[in-house]
Amino acid sequence: MRQEEEMQLWLSYRAGDKNAFGIIARDYYHTLLRYGLKFGVDQQVVEDCIQEIFLQLWQNRERIGHAPSVKNYLLKALRNNITQYYRYQQRFTSDEGQVWIWSAPEQRNVEIEMIENENVSELVRQIQQQLSQLPVREREALYLRYYENLSVSEISGVMGVNKQSVSNFLQKALLKLRAKWKVATVFILTCIEASAIAVVTILVR
């Protein structure tokens, strides 16, 4: 969705246009679901959190202001809802009790089918395992940067930390990955989910 269209839909929604609101909910639902599931909670919990977001959006539409990016606004709202869920469940640990799952691709294509090759499959598994060993916030920052294509400033808003912290998360994560993976092939890059593709592409530059 182009930014101009997104802003027009947001204005229409705030004015009480149910159709515009429905388009926003439809277009961002799967993005929110995919992001929410990365926190390691049940899908039903994520769906409930998303439903609550849209319920509050509609009920409070006259009080909600301008959003520079609807996508970022919704991602931040979902993150806050899931964080509140963790607090309610009293599941916090030193890393906020979140696991941040770096899952396999949701859709398979011709290239991904090729990882049935045992050697490549094992290498991909090792790369994904390395990603999963990163601290939670580093993994989340990488996901938002290279899967959702958010800028450092936008990630700062979603995660609720300053831009320097985001830059630190990204830098530390990439340094760790570079130390482990010095070489990768184009073939390998086609076998990893979009986020990992972007990350590993950076590793070999």
For residues 82 and 41, the answer to whether their CB atoms sit within 8 Å is yes
107-164 confidence digits (pLDDT tens)? 445 444 554 455 556 666 777 777 888 899 999 998 999 888 899 999 999 999 999 9
Does residue 143 lie within any of the structural domains? yes
- Separation of alpha carbons 118 and 19, rounded Å: 49
Mean pLDDT (the chain) is 78
Specify the higher pLDDT residue, 126 or 9: 9
What pLDDT, on a 0 to 100 scale, did the predictor assign at position 124?
64
Q: Report the Cα 202 to chain-centroid distance in Å.
A: 18
Determine if residue 149 is left, alpha or beta; phi over 0 gives left, psi from -120 to 50 gives alpha, anything else beta: left
What pLDDT, on a 0 to 100 scale, did the predictor assign at position 48?
93
Nearest Cα to Cα of residue 170 among 200, 196, 137: 137
Does residue 101 lie within any of the structural domains? no
Does residue 182 surpass a pLDDT of 80? no
What pLDDT, on a 0 to 100 scale, did the predictor assign at position 23?
95
What pLDDT, on a 0 to 100 scale, did the predictor assign at position 41?
85
82 in the same domain as 114: no
Q: Residues 68, 21, 100, 108: is their CA dihedral positive or negative?
A: negative
What pLDDT, on a 0 to 100 scale, did the predictor assign at position 158?
94
132 in the same domain as 72: no
Does residue 105 lie within any of the structural domains? no
**What total number of domains does the chain contain?**
2
Nearest Cα to Cα of residue 190 among 112, 109, 102: 112
Tell me how crowded residue 33 is: count the other CB atoms within 10 A of its CB.
Answer: 15
Supply the range of the domain harboring residue 85: 3-89
83 in the same domain as 10: yes
Does residue 136 lie within any of the structural domains? yes
What pLDDT, on a 0 to 100 scale, did the predictor assign at position 174?
86
**Among candidate residues 54, 89, 124, the one where a domain is terminated:** 89
Does residue 8 lie within any of the structural domains? yes
85-97 confidence digits (pLDDT tens)? 887 776 544 444 4
CATH code where residue 168 lies: 1.10.10.10
166-179 confidence digits (pLDDT tens)? 999 999 988 887 77
